[in-house]
Amino acid sequence: MKTELVKRAFKYRFHPTNEQAAELSRTFGCVRQVYNLALEARTVAWFQRQERVNYNATSAMLTQWKKTEELAFLCEVSSVPLQQTLRHLQAAFSNFFEGRAKYPRFKSKKRNRRCAEYTRSAFTYRDGALTLAKMKSPLAIVWSRPLPEGTEPSMVTVSQDSAGRWFVSMLCEDASVRPFPALDTAVGIDAGITTLVALSTGEKITNPRHERRDRTRLAKAQRVLAKKEKGSRNRDKARIKVAKVHARIADRRRDFLHQLTTRLVRENQTIVIEDLTVRNMVKNRSLARAISDAAWTDMRSMLEYKCTWYGRNLVAIDRWFPSTKLCSACGTVQDKLPLNVREWTCGCGAAHDRDVNAACNILAAGLAVTACGAGVRPQRESSRTGQPAVKQEPLTAK
């Protein structure tokens, strides 16, 4: 039986020429304009006439918009990114109607990510040179790693972050992604702040606190930004300096999490985690900054798609499972266990490290549920897996 190849995105930095940067900036603006026009048309049609407008109708609208004098500039850029943004809007409405997301919002020039998506008909890729539609020369890409041998990108996404850096992401089939050899090891993971993760094996991995390392530099850049007049060129330069500090922090954090999650997936067949609601936890003003810096959601997302890629099992136990207050030796649940108590002794005489004990209980709960045939795959679908989204109920371990 032939196995389906995994589609994987390879992201690179590139340095556009002035002409290429101008063309891409126009494309970003047109993509945002078309998305907002289509969203407005669909909203008005529903609230005023109770009509549902689909992708085909908005595509026909786009053709008419290009013929008007006001929107004639839409003809100056490639039509493929404009069609792709209409498809993204259709997906956003589908998610809304099926209860997976809120109602789509208008794209903002300042807040939203600047990007454009090109399908195979809108670019050429020959001998490592990528040329987009409406461009005369290929992009000057910094090839930090090669694409999989014998493959070509099926889709290209060009983006620019708030720090002014340009990126190109190429979606390719990667034959090198195949299941790892099966193991008989399993590990439970307890996420924390001081200790980023505590493993049921007794190992603790300290939180690098990437944001704290650059906090002084970030505060200085933000103070300079606050003094600049709104709308001035100096304010825009100061904003970019702030964005560069944030980008530096995010890059270090992402690199650390990739190394950590890849190691966990390589060394264990089954990984058990808690189903944490980070969105609610960051409402605590005292811990919001530290929780955001720990990036538990990013870590879980990486574990999800890497387990899918490499044939590992990821189990998420219920967030209300008392993993911290439960004695892993006798099963007694403590009445109270304040945060400042890092080590405690149970009535049975067992001495526990708070985090390691929690990780052991998480592992036991996950294995118990899996043994009963209620194993769970990741609840959230990642675009990296290439698999269709499946709505699943959260796992409860009692």
The structure tokens 């048309």 sit at: 41
Q: Annotated catalytic residue: which of 117, 274, 304, 381?
A: 274
The catalytic residue among 190, 211, 275, 381 is 190
Based on the residue annotation, tell me whether 190 is a catalytic residue of this protein: yes
Phi and psi angles of residue 392, each rounded to the nearest 5 degrees, phi first: -130, 150
Token output for 163: 């720090």
Catalytic-labelled residue, pool 117, 211, 293, 355 = 355
Our answer to whether residue 274 is catalytic in this structure is yes
Distances in whole angstroms, Cα of residue 338 to Cα of each of 321, 325, 344: 17, 10, 11
Cite the beta strand spans of 200-340 per DSSP E: 204-206, 270-274, 313-317
Q: Catalytic: 293?
A: no
Dist. CA 362–CA 344, nearest whole Å: 18
- Please give the biggest Cα pair distance in the chain: 82
What DSSP letter does each residue of 262-289 carry, written as one string? HHHHHH-SEEEEE---HHHHTT-TTTHH
Q: Do 140 and 14 touch, CB atoms closer than 8 A? A: yes
Helix, strand, or coil (residue 363): helix
- Residue 10 vs residues 5, 85, 156, 174: alpha-carbon distances, Å: 15, 21, 10, 10
Q: Torsion-angle region of residue 129: left (phi > 0), alpha (psi -120 to 50) or beta? A: beta
Active-site residue set: 190, 274, 355
